Structure 1
Amino acid sequence: MSSISQTFAVYGESGIGHYGEAIGDQMALGPKLVKHKILDAVDTIPLRDSDHVFTIGDYGTSDGYVTIPFMRDIIVRVRKRQGNLPVQVVYEDQPANDFNSLFKRVHGLIPVPRTYLKDVSDVFVMATATGFYDAVLPPGSADVILCFGAAHYLSKPVLKYQDSFHRYPNATPEESRLVAAQAAIDWETFLLRRAKELRSGGILAVTTAADNSKEQVKGLRHCVQQQEEDMLNTWRRMRDEQKITQEEFVNTNFDRCTKYPEECTAPFKGSNSAVTNQGLQLVSAELVKVPCTARLSWREKLEKDGVDDRDTWAKTVIAQLRCWTAWNFIRALSNKRCTDEKEALVDELYTRIEEEMAENHPEDYLSDSMINFIVARKV
């Protein structure tokens, strides 16, 4: 049995597709920007026998919002080359995931995005709650494995930062060293597991939240940089105002490590690379800036209708932020507090951030995402 700890949870009611509704468009934009490269890589997978089952894994799927359109594109692309072979889609996430929403999206009960099951036949869908730091699929069984926006979460908590939430922006050198060491172990483990699961010629495509240590992207150091800074600074002020305790502040940790580009490629390098010795070779690696979808919508409304709707812009950014961060704040608060008190404190946190956003122009607010995009092939 896996001993992996839960290091992430989506905030929101189960079964209503909350993740996709709140942050799905933002999370889907990065993979959309590189979709053509993923499909081109899929075209290189060797042809199979007619009785072969083509297997696609979607790891860290959440409620499926991001990858459902990808599945249709991959299936159509593969069948164009290989005929109407059966396809198996395996969705993976941790046991606490909102699988209820996933199944509803895949089977069309939540109609957005349109499920591929309405358009293609002979597709067999299943799900597993085995964490991706363990073996998910049998050896040599997968043709394509996707993992979008999940592999920067750690397999287990590492430490309690004294004045930061994770490595960015204010971890000490020792804190940074410890979390980077665990992240390196986890990333290599992830890659070794996928190396065993992929068939010869199979493709792995991964996006992870990125840190831009060398400022390769001008004006942006970190994924959703300003939201990260605003959360930390606002929580500090609430501590200084004694709304939360110092212990609760220190207990607020994000068990994740946004990766520098060189950290993503490191396991593939060197003659002693365990990853390449297992047959997984790096095809491409790049740092991709992903525009803030809330700002894009604000700009479109301004240009098209002449409406400067900053309220909707701010509310959308906060809804996205709350979706993937609120769980961390709630779990950090003392169990001596009742649920309503915890919720009220976290509501105050996001309300304060939203009010402070009003003092910024949307074009100046550093809310863009930044991702590492990795493609690897089993040879």
Structure 2
Amino acid sequence: MTHQPGNEKGKKPRYLPTMGQDYSSTSDTARDVNSRVGPLIEAYIDSIAPQISGMGPETPFVIADFGTNDGINSSPLMAAIIAHVRSINSALAFRLFYYDISTRDNFDKFWKGSQLAQVHGVEAEFIQRSYYESYPELEGKLNIGYSSTSVHWMNTKNVSAGFFQHPVNIQPNQLTGAERHKFVEKWEKDWEDFLLKRSDEVVKGGALFMVNLADFGNDEWPASAGYNYIRDICNEMCAEKLITPEELKAIFVPDYFATPQEMQSVIAAPGVKRYFRLEHFGPITVPCAYYPLFQDRLGDAKAREELGNKLAHEVQAWSESSIKTGLSSAHKEKIDEIYKRLENKFCRLPKALPFQYCMVELRKI
């Protein structure tokens, strides 16, 4: 069935995974994140060394990646975890579970050529399922759960079609006051639900490590310049009658970058505290992967064009399917115009795209 704008009667937006294959190569951003969370996980493994030593070979060490897309970005981290655990107990087998709503095609391509696939005693399974669901296959078995750049996506299945809409803005972090607050409440409820479902799966003494994209205030939230440019472009195209006001309203990205305080309020909720103890919470900023490479050559037209292309492509990988969701079948081709204009805007006024995160470690009580 061809999808129509989200506010049309009887139609519910089909929000698809928005992290494209091109973005999810082993990026410099992912390497930076891995380098920061890796020591935290190694310290945790060292702290449970006696338990690891006592595990028999018949009980695999279970690791899950929630919101993996294709598994590429977390693969160096997974390899390091396996190596560190095996330095304590070389007899252990491992089961890796990868969860995402995207199709498994990209994961299969990754795994076929992955070094992880060549490691003895390591099995992997990709499961196409939302991380807001329960996983019976993990119940009482999960040793380490990991999520990076994932849980800012809200659960779209438990609200009406009109929830993710706005007449001007295209993303909740662009909003203020009561308009923003409804998304804050939604995200907090969704993340609490995520954590409570994981509480049935993580073993006692097991851990969750999450690197959550965050909003540090003063327009410091991931890819804010790109989202703001897309908002301006969509409003321009509506004024030019290239898209309709109904489409502009339906063009909305269903993610929210929570503030550190909002994340901490969820962790402190009685239901979560009953199962998890906070071991680490810290904000980090990963610099833009592209802007520093070009900042000394912005006077060169060709360099600005190349930078504009890279910045626009990164934002497109995050947002395209959500933006396309709001366009009617008659205007689906306008998606190309939107991102061409985005590239032009980044060429005229390049802006860095740093990524803000909160790094969280929760220990199962």
Measure, in 2, the Cα distance between the counterparts of 1:261 and 1:356.
31
Correspondence for 1:111? none
The question of 1:277 aligning with 2:271 is answered no
The question of 1:353 aligning with 2:342 is answered yes
Measure, in 2, the Cα distance between the counterparts of 1:35 and 1:5.
37
Regions of 4+ moved over 6 Å: none
Two-structure CA RMSD over aligned residues (Å): 2.4
Where does 1:63-102 land on structure 2 (aligned, <5 Å)? 63-94=70-101, 97-102=102-107
Correspondence for 1:231? 230
Measure, in 1, the Cα distance between the counterparts of 2:39 and 2:14.
33
Range with greater deviation from structure 2 (131-140 or 53-62): 131-140
Preserved CA contact (<8 Å) 2:171 2:227:
no
Where does 1:30-49 land on structure 2 (aligned, <5 Å)? 30-45=33-48, 46-47=51-52, 48-49=54-55
SS in 1 for 2:338: helix
How many residue pairs get aligned? The number is 342
How high is the sequence identity, in percent, across the aligned residues? Answer: 21
Q: 1:288 corresponds to which letter in structure 2? A: I
TM-score by length of 1: 0.83
Correspondence for 2:7? none
What's the offset of the Cα at 1:175? 2.1
Correspondence for 1:321? 315
What's the offset of the Cα at 1:63? 1.1
Unaligned runs of 5+ in 2: 1-11
Preserved CA contact (<8 Å) 1:159 1:175:
no
Unaligned runs of 5+ in 1: 109-113
Preserved CA contact (<8 Å) 1:166 1:256:
yes
What's the offset of the Cα at 1:36? 1.7
Distance 1:36 1:319, change over 3 A: same
Preserved CA contact (<8 Å) 1:93 1:132:
yes
Distance 1:307 1:35, change over 3 A: farther
Distance 1:5 1:144, change over 3 A: farther
Correspondence for 2:354? 368
Measure, in 2, the Cα distance between the counterparts of 1:307 and 1:76.
47
Measure, in 2, the Cα distance between the counterparts of 1:318 and 1:231.
10
Q: 1:358 corresponds to which letter in structure 2? A: C
Measure, in 1, the Cα distance between the counterparts of 2:13 and 2:193.
15
Measure, in 1, the Cα distance between the counterparts of 2:292 and 2:16.
28
Q: 2:284 corresponds to which letter in structure 1? A: V
What's the offset of the Cα at 1:28? 4.6
The superposition leaves residues 202-247 of structure 1 with CA deviations (integer Å, 9 ceiling, x where unpaired) of 111112221113x5xxxx5222221111111111111111111100
Measure, in 2, the Cα distance between the counterparts of 1:355 and 1:268.
42
What's the offset of the Cα at 1:146? 0.7
The superposition leaves residues 262-284 of structure 1 with CA deviations (integer Å, 9 ceiling, x where unpaired) of 111112326xx111212x11111
Q: 2:242 corresponds to which letter in structure 1? A: K
The question of 1:286 aligning with 2:282 is answered yes
Q: 1:261 corresponds to which letter in structure 2? A: P
Correspondence for 1:188? 192
Correspondence for 1:107? 112
Preserved CA contact (<8 Å) 1:205 1:373:
yes
Preserved CA contact (<8 Å) 1:267 1:274:
no
Correspondence for 2:165? 160
SS in 2 for 1:92: strand
Range with greater deviation from structure 2 (223-232 or 153-162): 153-162
Distance 1:154 1:11, change over 3 A: closer
Measure, in 2, the Cα distance between the counterparts of 1:257 and 1:56.
26
Range with greater deviation from structure 2 (284-293 or 242-251): 284-293
Distance 1:79 1:128, change over 3 A: same
Preserved CA contact (<8 Å) 2:139 2:200:
yes
Measure, in 2, the Cα distance between the counterparts of 1:134 and 1:141.
16
What's the offset of the Cα at 1:11? 6.7
